[in-house]
């Protein structure tokens, strides 16, 4: 363990260095310093996510409606299975890492090489899965209409199942001419990604199909408790009147409220602005755009950690192969990298809980 | 540091013969906990969703507690916190736990307050 430390000639004296009050080497302690500060960074992000979620608790997307896809199983709703798989991959790569550390303690070079190799593969599988998850989230599935106030209106059929805007929208033939340079000074590019159907087409389809309903972003309150409160509070009584006028599923507290057909149609007509398909940093068909922002930022930051972890693991992997630590007579470097790798796993455990479960 | 490992988990309830078997034991325990989480997340039992404790559903409390359990075993057995000195253990864990609890408490209370302002005051946002 002292192979990388230069001798100063003052060993053994009180201030001569070499004391280890915490019984851990300098490098390992520094790794712990880094991990604590990085943990605080991540908890800052996750706490900010919680803040925004509590602020817009109604409009927050339902996680197991968002992540329902598994590769190669197109159209089969399977909430959470894929992300559970990703979690297991990461935990498993953590296990091979700690096995590599253990083999390092016993100076078994061959074993360290193999365990490091499996760890790297696990990390790569995880990053790939995350890329796929992002792509699916960006693509979206049912589509929705965004109102002028930034609310999301989602469509349901008579069974309460989600209806896709591309299925019921009625095409309105329009010509999309290109705005060319010769036609104006302000030659601008297309502002945003085009959706496959327009708001007008969705509205027309909704009017033509009487079986469709609209789901709002409001959560159904506990009506019994509200009625108790309403007895001596006219404001609450007015709120109850509004809820009963607008929504048809007030018997299901905690669920997203569904507009009656008439109210829904009126809302769509008066407030609708544009069609949203999938999610990006500005629009999100599943609910509040902040959900997408935090999802991209936090899983992206975590994915970047996994990526750098894989790169560092590859460097150490080759160091093991060429026998660097055999010469040093200590595999402590593997242990330090292992600490980082486990930390990445640890963060994912929390990301998994707060993005997919809670 | 020496390479001695403490070879028992659950306060001695589950003892292992070697460090390698302990690692696999912890791995199966973590898989088991994850499986429970995923199962509850898919099924969402009615009685765990209805009732609340400290403004949070029982189900979400279960998820958070299971997450902390997993975090404990990852830190203690994979990161070898169990084998470190008490001083190192406490300076890492207590610092992080204190600061994180404080941050979460403040931000969540503030977020909920803003939600109430939006909902019940004269800020028109539902259009």
What does the pLDDT read at residue B120? 75
Output the pLDDT for position B3. Answer: 56
The rounded distance, in Å, linking the Cα atoms of A96 and A102 is 10
| Per-residue confidence band for B39, with pLDDT thresholds at 50, 70 and 90 | very high
A99 vs A96: CA distance, rounded Å: 5
CA distance B107 to chain A (A): 5
Of the residues A28, A35, A43, the best mutation for testing chain B's interface (the one with the most B CB atoms within 10 Å of its CB) is A43
Q: Rounded distance, CA A335 to CA A114, Å?
A: 15
**What is the predicted pLDDT for the residue at A4?**
62
Q: Give percent of chain A with pLDDT exceeding 70.
A: 95
| Averaged pLDDT, B36-44 | 90
- Predicted pLDDT of residue A74: 73
Tokens of A206: 């909704």
Instruction: Give yes or no for A76 touching B (CB within 8 A).
Output: no
Q: Answer whether A97's CB lies under 8 Å from A342's CB.
A: yes
Confidence check: pLDDT of A235 > 90? no
Closest among A145, A204, A151, A150 to A173, alpha carbons compared: A204
User: Which pLDDT does position B1 carry in this prediction?
Assistant: 40
Nearest to A24 among B35, B63, B84 (CB): B84
For A219, nearest residue in chain B (alpha carbons) = B119
Domain positions in chain A are 26-140+291-357, 144-172+195-277
Tell me if A347 sits within 8 A of A305, measured CB to CB.
yes
Question: Among candidates A348, A319, A268, which has minimal Cα distance to A104?
Answer: A319
pLDDT digits (tens, 9 = 90+) for A16-68: 766 777 888 888 999 999 999 999 999 999 999 999 999 998 889 988 788 88
Average pLDDT estimate for B40-67 = 87
C-alpha span between B15 and B17 (Å, rounded): 7
Q: Residue B17 — pLDDT band, cuts 50, 70, 90?
A: confident
CATH number corresponding to A26-140+291-357: 1.20.120.80
Please tell me the predicted confidence (pLDDT) of residue A80: 85
Q: Mean of the pLDDT values across residues B28-56?
A: 87
ipTM score assigned to the predicted complex: 0.91
Phi-psi region of A97 (alpha: psi -120 to 50; beta: other; left: phi over 0): alpha
Question: For residues A333 and A26, is the Cβ–Cβ distance under 8 A?
Answer: no
Give chain B positions within 8 Å (CB) of A353: 37, 63-64, 67
CB contact under 8 A, B23 and A95: yes
A1 pLDDT higher than 60: no
Lowest mean pLDDT among A84-88, A127-131, A208-212, B120-124: B120-124
| Interhelix angle A261-271/A199-208, nearest 10 degrees | 160
Chain B residues touching residue A358 (CB < 8 angstroms): 60, 63-64
Mean pLDDT score of chain B: 87
Question: A32: which chain B residues are within 8 Å (Cβ-Cβ)?
Answer: 88, 92
3-state secondary structure chain B: CCCCCCCEECCCCEECCCHHHHHHHHHHHHHHHHHHHHHHHHHCCHHHHHCEECCEEHHHHHHHHHHHHHHHHHHHHHCCHHHCCHHHHHHHHHHHHHHHHHHHHHHHHHHHHHHHHHHHCCCCCCC
Give the pLDDT score at A190. 67
Is A39 within 8 Å of B38 when comparing Cβ atoms?
Answer: no
Q: Residue B124's pLDDT band (boundaries 50, 70, 90)?
A: low
pLDDT at A76 over 80: no
Q: How big is the A-B interface in CB pairs under 8 Å?
A: 142
For residue B103, list chain A residues with Cβ-Cβ distance below 8 A: 43-44, 47
Least confident among A236-240, A295-299, B77-81: A236-240
């Amino acid at each position: 363990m002292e192979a990388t430390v230069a001798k100063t000639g003052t060993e053994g004296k009180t201030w001569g260095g070499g004391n280890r009050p915490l019984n851990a080497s300098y490098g390992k302690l520094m790794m712990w310093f880094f991990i604590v500060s990085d943990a605080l960074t991540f908890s800052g992000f996750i706490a900010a996510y919680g803040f925004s979620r509590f602020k817009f608790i109604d409009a927050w997307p339902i996680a197991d409606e968002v992540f329902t896809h598994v590769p190669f199983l197109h159209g089969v709703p399977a909430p959470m299975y894929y992300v559970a798989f990703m979690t297991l991959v990461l935990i498993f790569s953590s296990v091979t890492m700690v096995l590599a550390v253990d083999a390092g303690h016993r100076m078994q070079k061959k074993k360290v090489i193999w365990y490091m190799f499996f760890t790297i593969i696990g990390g790569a599988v995880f990053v790939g899965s995350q890329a796929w998850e992002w792509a699916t989230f960006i693509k979206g599935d049912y589509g929705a209409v965004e109102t002028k106030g930034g609310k999301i209106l989602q469509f349901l059929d008579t069974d309460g199942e989600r209806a896709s805007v591309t299925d019921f929208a009625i095409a309105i033939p329009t010509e999309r001419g290109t705005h060319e340079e010769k036609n104006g000074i302000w030659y601008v590019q297309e502002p945003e990604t085009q959706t496959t159907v327009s708001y007008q087409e969705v509205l027309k389809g909704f009017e033509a199909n009487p079986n469709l309903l609209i789901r709002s972003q409001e959560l159904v309150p506990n009506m019994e408790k509200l009625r108790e409160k309403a007895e001596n509070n006219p404001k609450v009584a007015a709120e109850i009147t509004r809820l009963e006028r607008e929504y048809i599923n007030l018997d299901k507290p905690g669920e997203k409220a569904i507009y009656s057909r008439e109210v829904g149609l009126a809302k769509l007509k008066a407030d609708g602005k544009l069609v949203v398909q999938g999610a990006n940093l500005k629009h999100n068909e599943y609910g509040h755009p902040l959900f997408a922002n935090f999802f991209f930022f936090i899983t992206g930051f975590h994915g970047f950690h996994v990526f750098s972890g894989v790169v560092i693991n590859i460097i150490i992997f080759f160091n093991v192969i060429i026998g660097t630590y055999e010469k040093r007579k200590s595999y402590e470097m593997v242990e330090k990298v292992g600490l980082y790798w486990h930390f990445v796993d640890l963060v994912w455990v929390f990301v998994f809980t707060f993005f997919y479960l809670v | 540091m020496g390479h001695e490992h403490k070879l028992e988990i659950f306060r001695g309830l589950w003892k292992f013969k070697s460090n390698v078997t302990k690692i696999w034991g912890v791995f199966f325990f973590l898989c088991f906990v994850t499986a429970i989480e995923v199962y509850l997340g898919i099924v969402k039992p009615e009685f765990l969703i209805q009732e609340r404790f400290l403004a949070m559903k029982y189900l979400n409390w279960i998820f958070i507690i299971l997450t902390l359990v997993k975090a404990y075993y990852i830190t203690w057995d994979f990161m070898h916190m169990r084998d470190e000195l008490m001083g190192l253990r406490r300076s890492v864990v207590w610092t992080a736990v204190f600061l994180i609890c404080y941050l979460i408490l403040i931000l969540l209370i503030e977020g909920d307050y803003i939600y109430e302002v939006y909902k019940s005051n004269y800020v028109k946002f539902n259009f």
